[in-house]
Structure 1
């Protein structure tokens, strides 16, 4: 796995998809990351 820049909405869509599927490899941090991304998106929206 490697880090790369992607659009905010794409990251949120991916995280929400992972959370919905609940794979065994999913860590707890994805919930925290998604919450932060949602707050950033909300702040940017105005």
Structure 2
């Protein structure tokens, strides 16, 4: 339970920060390289 709570707090903090959004499925990434890998492999 503690891990889940800590994870949700981290997600809330991340959502306030600058994120890169996938234009196809709206997935959010903290780093541009992660978004590029996501688009390259998933789409």
Give your verdict on TM over 0.5: no
Q: Normalization by structure 2: what TM-score? A: 0.36
For the pair shown, the structure with the greater C-alpha radius of gyration is 2
**TM-score, normalised to structure 1's length?**
0.35
Structure with more relative contact order (C-alpha pairs < 8 Å, separation 6 or more): 1
The structure richer in helix per residue is: 1
Structure number with the higher strand fraction is: 2
